[in-house]
Structure 1
Amino acid sequence: MDFRAATADPTDMDRALAYQADGPVPALATEKIREELAAHQMRPEWTWFAEDENGEILARALWWGRGDSEQPIALDCLQVRGSVADPGSVAAGLLAAGHKALGTLPGYNISLPRDWRTAPDGVADAVAWRRKAASEAGLTRAIERLRFQWTPAAGTVEPTGRLVFREGTDEEFLDAFVRLSQGSLDLHTQSELRTSDAEELARADIAFYTDCPGERSWWRLAHLPDGTLAGMAIPSATPYHRNVGYLGVVPEQRGRGLIDEILAEITRFHASEAAERITATTDTVNAPMAAAFSRAGYEVTEIRLVLEASPDPDQAPAQAPAQAPA
């Protein structure tokens, strides 16, 4: 078995595009891959094959990054031919070779229907060998997220006056990130706080959202009318659409329904910019946040299973989860 990038032959990318996907886990359409290549968000050096001794492609891995990324951010597509007896072993070898050459362990995002565990078409088995392969290749942590979407048909609500939103300095946002991490139900935050302190994580989060396609000028602090900090709202964007980046309520103000006010502010902001779609994700275990999205007219479109490397206590804290293509 030969594992290699699609850079050895001028026909490699044509072969990558011609790869006929099989199996129940959805694969990217050829035209979508062409668009990603044109935007420099997928690249030949980020496209990897597993070939047999006859040169037949038995597996394909497509990593994704933003147009200016030096390294890929996420594995967006992993497929192994249905005729392969042990797809997990082939996939594990392909990922390990790719990780070694790329010099990084990007997370793997798998988009799934809500009923994927009980669906009768073999989705659960296809997810199982992918999880096994990812774990063997170093992606040992699994987080399941609900992906939500808002469209203009859902409408927006007017401000109630319970909160006042204003711009803030970098130091004010640093303080807000630190405070919001306390008691967070977000699994990524919980995990990172086991290996780094709250300020280190806050600085990493700020760097991540600053680097996203959204503008820093969009960020807002949320205050009670008397000036007390209540939380913050970070409208953001992906390369494809507007996005709910980060929002939260400080611990001492939780349980008062203020998350609805903050989410409404983000939604109003994007709607005022003529957004046709706003996406958002939250962990399946974060029931309060999921309920807030539903109340605000956001609908679940899929479950996103994120497989990523566990934090190494001997290294700097990882960045926040990447906004991969949707």
Structure 2
Amino acid sequence: MSETPEIYDITIIGGGPIGLFAAFYAGLRKAKTKLIDSLPQLGGQLATLYPEKYIYDVPGYPAIKAIDLVANLEKQLSVFDHDILLEEEVTNLTRKEDYLEIETTKGTHYSKAIILAVGNGSFQPRRLTVDGSEALEGKNIHYYVKDINEFAGKKVAIAGGGDSAIDWALMLESVAEQVSIIHRRPEFRGHEHSVEKLKNSTVQIYTPYTIDQLCLEDNSFKGIQLKHTKEDGGFHLPVDSLIVNYGFTSSLGHLKDWGLDISRNSITVDSDMSTTLPGVYAVGDISTYMGKVKLIATGFGEAPTAVNNALHFIKPDARTQPMHSTSIFEKLEPHKEILQN
């Protein structure tokens, strides 16, 4: 006789900031919760790609490093004894009579409801397409910044024109000897406040320029050759390190085969965060709906909505409205020492 599988109330796929907060809120609702992530550590893209980058769109924090935000979310989650599985990629999802079967690279799991919090899916940086760049990756050319002090006292150039490129330039201003930013368009694509700060900083701005070639001398990196995008000519910019921030390409991988309503690499959801698959919800950057603004703050708000509606799906007569703040405090009272330390 086959053994009855252990079925969880909610399984959260994705251990980034939004997945972590969804798991915390599920704990407040006393849901039996499992969290599965394909990366070797929690924190998602923030922890993997931008641990030293400041985040500016989290309420209550004028600025907080990504690594600190993730640490706070892990600390918040630690008051609940959820099952957390890392380095395990979900490969297939099957609807059974009254639960969902989740197949991964390491086994099979069962859940009454699922919340997808997988960000932009699997991601790879858009690389510099200049001869010789591949050989310098991790030495003089960087796509990820693990430790900002690595650039102390150096001449650093940043290629890119979005918020991440601007944020890195401003962060490195007080660490590096000299910071330059190169963008192929005349105007930057970042938030207006950040662009204004950049223009008032000591960062050298080169627009509209592209990187034409890498400058090597005796196999040693000496800088980059810049080319104007609208006029003839260019010049040599001496730098020690180049940070390329051209964005990332993402892939939904196995998600595309699950019968979800996918539009522009995002999953379309209703106002209750439900997808076209019964019992499956999506939050954060992976979800889309009319008027959606892709911010961390937005995802934090979507997480409780998904949890409450997932529990209502599991048990239609259950209360789905968020708890009053005093009820939350009562549930967290036994854990106040953990949260305060």
Asked if TM exceeds 0.5, the reply is no
Shorter-chain TM-score bucket reads: under 0.3
Query: Greater CA radius of gyration, 1 or 2?
Result: 2
Report the TM-score when normalising by structure 1. Answer: 0.27
> What TM-score do the two structures reach when normalised by structure 2?
0.26
Instruction: Compare the two structures and name the one with the higher helix fraction.
Output: 1
